[in-house]
Amino acid sequence: MNVSEIEQFLNTEFDGFKVELRTDQERGDIILGRPPYNVIAMSQREYLRQVFEALDAHPGVRVIVLRAEGQHFSSGGDIRGFLEASPEHVSKLAWNVAAAERCSKPVIVANRGYTFGVGFELSLACDFRIASETARYALPEQNLGQIPGSGGSARLQKMIGITRTKHMVMRAKRVSGEQALAWGFVTECVPDDELESATDALVEELRRFSPLAQRTAKKLINDNEDSPLKVAIEMEGHCYSRLRSSEDFKEGVEAFHAKRPAVFKGE
């Protein structure tokens, strides 16, 4: 799709969420819009995946933000939808939820209030999680005789280890934003009235860096998650070598020596 086609798609009236394109700030926001609990319907996940892909393809977007209206990020999915969905649809749930992880651009999620079930799984697929002090994280599927089905337990275990993951998954325990920060699965925990400003500040911070270096770092870190140390170091070396020939690296070095802000173009 060209830029006009992408923007036309992003202006669609989506069920359960909307998109705000702020090209003057080089950001695109996906806003869950079914308050008070922002329940996520089964069909909504596929559209969320398509929107992440469209924002990733938009040349005017440097940073993607996922947030929600109201006092809760999301209480999770539409329970009845699980019973009504076809096996084929269910088989794609994890792929759709992982869209933020596959994006080449950095993705920030802002969590306040309930961040449960698929809402938590969507957040775990993002690069940066900013939590309000009101945030409560949970994977409550055991209460339904189920387990997380879109990468929740798998991603969480990589971040916080087996013992804490069993505590959250097998006991369906809720964890506060402050505890999530202490355990290492959120980037920041801020007072509730500072969630938006903290998100805006991180967007502006990420915009300062080379888009090429950001994309390279994200892919490298994600790809190295399951790599042995020797392989990870080798991959890092190859990426470092390729970036040395980039215009952004040249600009960064020249700006450093000239003691001026670098102007990166992603080349």
In 125-246, which ranges are continuous DSSP H helix? Answer: 152-160, 162-169, 177-183, 195-207, 211-223, 229-243
> From the candidates 53, 141, 247, 251, which is the catalytic residue?
141
Task: State the Cα–Cα distance between residues 182 and 180, nearest whole angstrom.
Answer: 5
Which of these is catalytic: 121, 194, 251, 254? 121
- Residues 108, 199: Cα–Cα separation, whole Å: 8
Phi, psi of 54 (to 5 degrees): -65, -45
160, two tokens: 């916080």
Are 242 and 220 within 8 A, CB to CB? no
Q: Tell me whether residue 121 is one of the annotated catalytic residues.
A: yes
Strand partners, 115: 74, 137
A 10 A CB-CB count for 144 gives: 12
Q: Tokens standing for 38? A: 């922002």
Q: In angstroms, rounded to a whole number, what is the distance separating the alpha carbons of residues 180 and 265? A: 35
Please state, in angstroms and rounded to a whole number, the distance separating the CA atoms of residues 67 and 19: 10
Q: How many CA atoms lie within 13 A of 11 on its CB side?
A: 6
Residue matched to tokens 């003691």? 259
Active site residue 196: no
| DSSP conformational letter for 23 | G
Least Cα distance to 103 among 121, 81, 86, 126 occurs for 126
Where in the sequence numbering do the catalytic residues fall? 121, 141
